[in-house]
Chain A
């Protein structure tokens, strides 16, 4: 009976679909919008004192974040959460650490209004952008109603749609180039699956599609109650969006508050708090090695067709 059950489970495991899918090589987007979004993404006029742009905290060529525990907003203000990477963010089904935005458009509105980030509002931004003839022209070329809040976030999100990092070594492995990963790295992937990391970190973005509790097997010491702040539902306490593991090697420091500095440390913490087990050092090393294969190509420059 027991063996039969194990056999059933094993089979389920074997025949389950591929849990991680590679980033597609083709990416379709509206070039004009994306170019406009790019301009906006780098434009400090989106902040109240023209000091901070989206790109201030999301450095595209370096993992899509700022490698700080928490970012500096206008007037050097800081928040409580680590800025997540903007890369591949289009594949997340939820945005922000607490999953409070359902898509990139909603997300873009957050930092603009956040007092410790850009501390601005669309009325002011639109007034500033209206003064810029180029902006006016570009907006009108795309949108009938010209510069508006919706159109600003639409353009930005379209730019963010271009920010994908395909062709990581692991993606190539998934596409069949098995030898591109070293044995250790392949073993790391095996362990990643065996110990159930994959049960939360799956899908195309290897995360970003689930809200999960931090500290399942052990209480995690943090003041941030996560999703509870949004839902006020006590069962949502300490629930955070599971972050993507793509380009994880580039996006240190880790966790929602950015308090973990190295990949090895964060893997150990995850195994301790989330998996509730003890791994051999070599196993941890292999997993870390595997995670490093998730670094993809930096996003291509947008080019007019």
Chain B
């Protein structure tokens, strides 16, 4: 907008300068016309004067001469007053004009003299003609002729004629008064002709025509240069104007295009899924888009002018807002997540960035907040977390069932030992069999030992059910052995043979979760081996490490996992077992725990291998846990 006004302003100035130049050129042209006519007039009057001066023998009305002098002076004044001479610096023209004026004044002085000479000459010529009609001596004929042709003949030596007449005046014997008058007037004529001739020569030397010519030429030269300059500047200005207009149109076009672009952006902003809020430097809302209205429930009219803290909930700490303000007032972009409250008191999660817009002098002029309503995502996440928790719980419960089975299994033998001892003792008492004290103590020790075992078993299970709170240092081998202890009775009962190759490896991780994973894998192996009745039941357990990971390989010889489901076994609720036995979450949870909680990998593949000269096929589960203690 400002640029438009500015360019409009410049174009108007250009047009103004252009018009001024055209006007100036016109003035110059008019001036030159007026000066030309003045020069012409001066030239003509000058010629008139020359004719007048040459023409001795005529009466003149001096008023007419005076009028011509007036016109001459007026024309001269007109030239001098012309603004060309007040403005310009062409000293050449001025100088030639000054010379011309001086010479013209000189000529007018001469003209005054000529006027008086001519009236005197006129009189004498007239008188002498009158006398010639009277009776006078023929000696005067020659003088008379000479006098009459003086005007037409420059060769007559006036000085010698004057001397002659003077002599005659002295020597002539006068017959009458007319002869005297004749000679006196002849002398007078010669005298004034001499004066006139001198004056004429002066005039000739003045050579005013030449000065008029010089002035005229100088002036024309000057005016041509001025007009040339004016024309040139007009052409240049015109070109500049055209260029400016072209630029202006280009600018306008670009402006329009960029306006369209801006409009696109505006629409993009307006209808974006992102919430956009623009405030001024004092946090008063200037603009909100559609998404804002949808998300917050406030209409644009309601929002504009208010501060964004209308959305503030009590979910976030004072420190959170303090940090936010420090960041944005420090001129930096703030990124974070709001928990806000909309018009209907619903909690909204908003992933946001707030950008301060700085003015030219570094002041904060605006804040632009871009927010994405992530409430749904957050709620989903919470649900997922809840689900996961439930799954873990489920799996734990499942494990617990399993464990209780295990405990029962584990406890069966000790309990039967205790029962056997108790029954033995009972029988001895009923049968009144002698009770050897040594035997009794042995029995009691055995019971005590067995109870210790039971207690230990319970402790082990209880430990297993304790949820991991934090990562601890432990030895994988120990964990494996501990796990095995929980499961050994069942494995033994199924005649499953364990082939172990165990290294001592210290790691820092979640102990119970790893135990649970190992239990799950071993249980799965056991379950599948349970179905294979007529073969050796083998489980290979290798604990070792490479550069990065501690690895537990658990390999069975149950023939492997069918290829069509091997990709799905880590998916939740996927199970091959009968519903009563499998929940379908054991391996899923194991994978989740290794991958997400322990930063490790749980991999599975089918392998074929030789053992004791027999060839076996089976599934190989690899638990990879990072070695690095983080």
A residues whose Cβ falls under 8 Å from a Cβ of B: 1-2, 5-6, 9, 12-13, 16-21, 91, 93, 193-196, 198-200, 202-204, 209-213, 216-217, 235, 239, 274-278
Of the residues B59, B112, B123, B144, contact of A195 by C-beta under 8 Å: B123
Contact A210 B181, CB 8 Å, known A5-B149, A21-B61, A202-B60: no
Q: Which of B104-147 contact A (CB under 8 A)?
A: 112-113, 115-116, 118-120, 122-127, 129-130, 144-145
* Cα distance, A199 to B177, chains bound together (Å): 24
Cβ-defined contact, A195 with B58, below 8 A: no
Chain B binding surface, main DSSP class = helix
Q: Which of B190-221 contact A (CB under 8 A)?
A: none
Cβ-defined contact, A196 with B177, below 8 A: no
B residues whose Cβ falls under 8 Å from a Cβ of A: 57-64, 66, 112-113, 115-116, 118-120, 122-127, 129-130, 144-145, 148-149, 177, 181, 184-185, 188
CB neighbours of B113 from chain A (8 A): 235
Of the residues A1, A16, A194, contact of B126 by C-beta under 8 Å: A194
Of the residues A194, A209, A275, contact of B62 by C-beta under 8 Å: A209
Of the residues A6, A17, A278, contact of B177 by C-beta under 8 Å: A278
Contact A276 B62, CB 8 Å, known A9-B57, A9-B129: no
CB neighbours of A91 from chain B (8 A): 63
* Cα distance, A217 to B185, chains bound together (Å): 8
Shortest C-beta distance, A47 to chain B (Å), equals 33
Cβ-defined contact, A13 with B59, below 8 A: yes
Residue of A nearest to B113 (CB): A235
Shortest C-beta distance, B261 to chain A (Å), equals 67
* Cα distance, A204 to B181, chains bound together (Å): 31
Of the residues A202, A274, A275, contact of B61 by C-beta under 8 Å: A202
Cβ-defined contact, B177 with A203, below 8 A: no
Given pairs A202-B60, A278-B181, 11 additional interface contacts (CB within 8 A) = A5-B149, A12-B59, A196-B126, A199-B120, A202-B59, A203-B61, A209-B63, A210-B116, A212-B119, A276-B123, A277-B130
Of the residues A5, A6, A217, A239, contact of B116 by C-beta under 8 Å: A239
* Cα distance, A3 to B124, chains bound together (Å): 18
Cβ-defined contact, B62 with A203, below 8 A: yes
Shortest C-beta distance, B129 to chain A (Å), equals 7
* Cα distance, A175 to B123, chains bound together (Å): 27
* Cα distance, A204 to B65, chains bound together (Å): 13
Q: Can you spell out 25 A-B residue pairs with CB atoms less than 8 angstroms apart?
A: A1-B145, A2-B144, A2-B145, A5-B149, A16-B58, A16-B60, A17-B61, A19-B60, A19-B61, A93-B62, A195-B123, A196-B122, A196-B126, A199-B59, A199-B60, A199-B123, A202-B61, A203-B61, A209-B62, A211-B116, A212-B116, A212-B120, A274-B123, A276-B188, A277-B127
Q: Which 3 pairs from chain A and chain B are nearest by CB?
A: A196-B123, A203-B63, A199-B119
Of the residues B118, B145, B184, contact of A276 by C-beta under 8 Å: B184
* Cα distance, A193 to B123, chains bound together (Å): 10
* Cα distance, A278 to B57, chains bound together (Å): 22
* Cα distance, A193 to B126, chains bound together (Å): 10
Shortest C-beta distance, A61 to chain B (Å), equals 27
Residue of B57, B59, B148, B188 with most chain A CB atoms under a 10 A cut-off:
B59
Of the residues A195, A204, A216, A278, contact of B188 by C-beta under 8 Å: A216
Shortest C-beta distance, A101 to chain B (Å), equals 15
Cβ-defined contact, B59 with A198, below 8 A: yes
CB neighbours of B145 from chain A (8 A): 1-2
Residue of B nearest to A199 (CB): B119
CB neighbours of B58 from chain A (8 A): 12-13, 16
* Cα distance, A16 to B118, chains bound together (Å): 15
Shortest C-beta distance, B63 to chain A (Å), equals 4
CB neighbours of A2 from chain B (8 A): 144-145, 148
Of the residues A6, A199, A217, A274, contact of B184 by C-beta under 8 Å: A217
Residue of B nearest to A6 (CB): B129
Shortest C-beta distance, A42 to chain B (Å), equals 30
* Cα distance, A93 to B112, chains bound together (Å): 12
Of the residues B63, B112, B127, contact of A196 by C-beta under 8 Å: B127
Cβ-defined contact, A217 with B177, below 8 A: no
Shortest C-beta distance, B252 to chain A (Å), equals 55
CB neighbours of A274 from chain B (8 A): 123
* Cα distance, A192 to B629, chains bound together (Å): 151
Cβ-defined contact, B119 with A204, below 8 A: no
Of the residues A13, A93, A216, contact of B120 by C-beta under 8 Å: A216
CB neighbours of B188 from chain A (8 A): 216-217, 276
Of the residues B66, B118, B126, B130, contact of A93 by C-beta under 8 Å: B66
Cβ-defined contact, B62 with A202, below 8 A: yes
Contact A275 B123, CB 8 Å, known A12-B57, A21-B63, A198-B59: yes
Residue of A nearest to B115 (CB): A210
Contact A200 B119, CB 8 Å, known A12-B57, A16-B59: yes
CB neighbours of A235 from chain B (8 A): 113
* Cα distance, A107 to B423, chains bound together (Å): 175
Cβ-defined contact, B126 with A195, below 8 A: yes
Cβ-defined contact, A196 with B129, below 8 A: no
Residue of B62, B113, B122 with most chain A CB atoms under a 10 A cut-off:
B62
CB neighbours of B64 from chain A (8 A): 17
* Cα distance, A19 to B61, chains bound together (Å): 5
Shortest C-beta distance, A38 to chain B (Å), equals 27
CB neighbours of A12 from chain B (8 A): 57-59
CB neighbours of A93 from chain B (8 A): 62-63, 66
* Cα distance, A17 to B119, chains bound together (Å): 16
* Cα distance, A16 to B129, chains bound together (Å): 18
Contact A196 B184, CB 8 Å, known A5-B148, A13-B59: no
Shortest C-beta distance, A265 to chain B (Å), equals 20
Cβ-defined contact, B61 with A18, below 8 A: yes
CB neighbours of B119 from chain A (8 A): 196, 199-200, 210, 212
CB neighbours of B62 from chain A (8 A): 93, 202-203, 209-210
* Cα distance, A198 to B62, chains bound together (Å): 11
CB neighbours of A278 from chain B (8 A): 177, 181
CB neighbours of B125 from chain A (8 A): 9
Residue of B nearest to A99 (CB): B112
CB neighbours of B181 from chain A (8 A): 276-278
* Cα distance, A38 to B230, chains bound together (Å): 54
* Cα distance, A55 to B6, chains bound together (Å): 72
CB neighbours of B60 from chain A (8 A): 16, 19, 199, 202
CB neighbours of A202 from chain B (8 A): 59-63
CB neighbours of A9 from chain B (8 A): 57, 125, 129
Residue of B66, B118, B177, B188 with most chain A CB atoms under a 10 A cut-off:
B66
CB neighbours of A1 from chain B (8 A): 145
Residue of A nearest to B141 (CB): A2
